[in-house]
Amino acid sequence: AVVSILFFVSELFIHFRIALGNLSLLRLTDRTAAADDSQRAVRRGEYLPSVDVFVPTYSEPVEMLRRTIIGCQAMDYPRKTIYLLDDQRRPAMRTLARELGCEYFDRPDNQHAKAGNLNHALPRTGGEFIVCFDADFVPCRNFIERTVGFFRDPDVAMVQTPQNFFNEDAVTRNLGLEKSLEDEQRLCFRTLQPGRDSMNAVVCHGSCFVVRRSALEAIGGVPTETITEDWATSIKLQAAGYKIRYLNEALSAGMSADKCGEFVQQRSRWAQGTLQAIFASTNPLTIPGLDWKQRLMHFSGIVYYLGSLSSLFNLLAPLLFLFFGPHLLSMTVAEMVFYRLPFTVGFYLLYSWLSCGTRSPLWTEFYEAFLAPSMGLTVLRSLFKPFGAGFRVTDKTIRKGRFAINRRVALPFADLLVAHLLGIAFAVLTGRHLEEPDAFGIATYFAALNIGILWMCLLVSIDVAQPTPFVRFARQHSCLVTWEDTGVAGETIYLSEGDVVFKPARMIAGATGAAFIHLPELGLHDVPARVKAIQNGTWTLEITDPTLEQRRVLISSLFCQPRRWDRPPRSEMAAAWEYLRAGVRMYPLADSP
C-alpha cells in the first residue's frame, strides 16, 4: 500500500505540474506591433531616453567579453553607454575596456555575486534605463530600438526578451541532434513566457532585458536574498504594482552550457535559487501585492523543481516490485492498455499543440529524467538547508579535446540501468512473472521505458570532442585567399570569429603558411590568416591577428544582424524519430569527431 500510494502521489504531482504549465499556455501574447511602434518612435527621434548597458563578468575569458561588448556597441541607438562590470578585478578586463572604448567598474569584494555587482554600478551610473547582458550574450543591432518604446507607458518597469543560443547545449551536441532537436530552454522562452505575459507574471531571466532605473531603485535594487536574483527582481517589481512585458523576438544570442556537467550544475543552481524563495521575502505565496494569477504562475516555478523528486521516484519505482514484490498499480495489463494508451496519445497531441511545436513530449520526459538525480538531491538539500551552497558561475568556454565521460553525471544512470536489468532477471528467476503476470507486465513496462531513458542519459553523459574553440556558422560568401604573389577565389562554407572553411573554385598547390582573406560582401579585406588544413577539396584558414575594425565587422556580420536568430519550429515527427534513433545510433561512441 505504501509503494502504491507513493507512486500515485508522484504521478498526481507530475500531472499537477503539467496542468500549471498548460494553464500558462492557454493565451499567448504577441507584442510585435508594439515593438514596431517602438522602433518607429526611436528612428524618428520622438523617444530617445538615455540607456546604460551593463555587462557583468566574473571569470569569463577576454575573447568572450570582447565579442559581447563589440555587439553592444553595434546596437543602433545614439544615447547609450556601455559598462563592463568586472567582479574579479582583472587587469585584462581593464585593458579590454580601454581598447574598446567602454566604461569599466570593479569593486573591492564579491559580496552577493552578480546581484551585488549590478547594485554596485547602479548609483555610479545615470541612464534612465538599464540594459543587461550576461558576458556571453551578443545583441542584435535593433535590440534597444525594439524594446525601449514600451516604457512610454509609465507602469512598465521591465521588458524581457528570449534567450537564444548560437551553440548547441550538451544534450543536442552529445547526441548529434543539432539539426533536429530544439534546445532545452526554447519551450520556456518562446512559449511559456508569452503565456505568463498575459497575466503579468513574466519571469526575468537575468540577461537580455531592459529595466527602468527608477523602478529598480524603488524596490531597493536587485534583491540579494537568493542566488536567482533575476526571478526575485521580477517578483518584487510585480508586487510593487509594475508591469513586465515580454517581447517574444530573438534579439540576442548567447552560449548554452555544452558540457553535461555544466549543464546539470546550472539547472541545479536554478533549482536551489528558486526554492530559496520559499524562505525569503520574495516568496510568491506570501509577498504582498501579487494577484492570484501571478502567485499561481510564480508558484508553478517552485512546483516545477519540486517535480524532480517525482521524476526521480519514477526511475526507482519499478525496482520495488522487481526486487521486493510490492505492486505499483492494482490493475491488469489489458486495463493499462485501455486507459493509458489513449491518454498518452491524447496528452502528447495536446502538449504539442499548446506548446506550438517548441518541445516534443518525448524530449520533455527525457530532459526531466536526465536532470532528476542531481536536481532531486538539490531540492532535498535546499528544503533542509536552503542557503548552504553559494553562487557558482557556469563555465561556457569552448575547449578543444577528445570525448570524455563525466563520471559524476553518468554514475547514477549506469547504476540504475544495471539495477533495472538485474531486477527483471531476478523477477523471472524467482517466478514472479508466473505468479503475478499482470503486476510483472506492468512493472516490466515501466522498467523498459526507464531502461531506454537511462541509456540515452548515459550517452548524454559522454561529452563529444570539440573540433574547434569557435562556433562555426554556415555562411556562403564570395571569398578570395591570397598569399605571396598569387591567390585563389572561391566561396566560404563556414565562417566564425577565428577561422574560415573555404571551397576554392580550382585546386592549387603551394597554399601553406601565412595568407590573407578577402570577403568583399562583408567589407572585409586583408584579414591576416594562415592555412591550417586542406582536405576533401576545402581549406580551413585560421584568422590570426585581425585589426579591431575587422573584428567589429566580422562580429557584427555573424551575430548582430536583425532577425539573425529567427527560425521556425522543428518537426514534431522528426523529433520523435530522432529520439528513437539516437539510442541506437550511439553518436558519442561511433560518429563524433
| Degrees, nearest 5: CA angle 311-314-318 | 165
Give dist(CA 306, CA 426) in Å, integer: 32
Decide if 516 contacts 482 (C-beta within 8 A): yes
Q: Which residues contact 391 (CB under 8 A, 6 or more apart)?
A: 113, 114, 227, 269
| Degrees, nearest 5: CA angle 40-154-38 | 10
Give dist(CA 292, CA 269) in Å, integer: 27
Decide if 532 contacts 469 (C-beta within 8 A): no
The β-bridge partners of 530 are: 514, 542
As a residue count, the chain comes to 593
Q: Hey, what's the cell of 385?
A: 538547508
Residue linked to cell 523543481:
305
Helix residue ranges per DSSP H, 74-136: 91-100, 113-121
Query: What does DSSP say about strands 80-86 and 156-160: parallel, antiparallel, or unpaired?
Result: unpaired
Using CA atoms in the order 94, 97, 98, 100, what is the torsion angle rounded to 10 degrees?
A: 160
Decide if 424 contacts 337 (C-beta within 8 A): no
Single-letter amino acid code for the residue at 182: E
Phi and psi at residue 350, to the nearest 5°: -65, -45
Neighbours of 395 (CB within 10 A): 15
Q: Which residues contact 134 (CB under 8 A, 6 or more apart)?
A: 55, 56, 206, 207, 254
Question: Which parts of 205-315 are beta strand (E)?
Answer: 209-212, 243-246, 252-253
Give dist(CA 137, CA 440) in Å, integer: 51
Decide if 578 contacts 171 (C-beta within 8 A): no
- In what helix (H) or strand (E) does residue 103 lie, and over which residues does it extend? strand 103-106
Neighbours of 472 (CB within 10 A): 19
Give dist(CA 487, CA 68) in Å, integer: 33
Catalytic residue among 230, 258, 463, 499: 230
Q: Buried (b) or exposed (e) across 428-467, using 16+ Cβ within 10 A?
A: eeeebbeebebbbebbbebbebbbbbbbbbbbbbbbbebe
**230 is annotated as an active-site residue:** yes
Decide if 403 contacts 590 (C-beta within 8 A): no
Catalytic residue among 52, 86, 87, 197: 87
Decide if 163 contacts 169 (C-beta within 8 A): no
Give dist(CA 382, CA 573) in Å, integer: 38
Q: Which residues contact 15 (CB under 8 A, 6 or more apart)?
A: none
**545 is annotated as an active-site residue:** no
Give dist(CA 545, CA 498) in Å, integer: 9
Give dist(CA 10, CA 16) in Å, integer: 10
Q: Enumerate the active-site residues.
A: 87, 230
